């Protein structure tokens, strides 16, 4: 999913203007309670930059399509193995 992005680069934000995404396994400790403590599995943190909004939305759609295709493929493999 993350590799399919054209505008979102992988990296941490240092206050720059570019859009970034940071994959995480939720091992980052925080001083406040997580907003969604029941979420499990890999997550990604997004920093939205100053690129054109429609371009950013298209990039996110592309990534979601890749994720959806991966999920459907995994579901098909699991169903076939029963």
Closest among 25, 22, 29 to 39, alpha carbons compared? 25
Domain annotation for the chain: domains and CATH numbers: 2-80 (3.90.1150.10)
What pLDDT was estimated at residue 15? 83
Residue 43: strand pairing partners: 24
pTM of structure:
0.73
What pLDDT was estimated at residue 82? 44
What pLDDT was estimated at residue 6? 97
Residue 66: strand pairing partners: none
pLDDT tens for each residue of the chain, 82 residues long: 999 999 999 998 888 899 999 988 766 666 666 666 666 677 888 999 999 999 999 999 999 999 999 988 866 665 555 4
């Amino acid at each position: 999913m993350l590799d399919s992005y054209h505008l979102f680069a992988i990296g941490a934000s240092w206050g720059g203007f570019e859009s970034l995404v940071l994959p995480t396994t939720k091992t980052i400790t925080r001083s406040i309670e997580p907003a969604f403590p029941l979420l499990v599995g890999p997550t990604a943190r997004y920093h939205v930059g100053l690129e054109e909004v429609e371009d950013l939305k298209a990039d996110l759609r592309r990534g979601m399509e890749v994720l959806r295709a991966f999920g459907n493929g995994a579901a098909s493999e699991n169903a076939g193995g029963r």
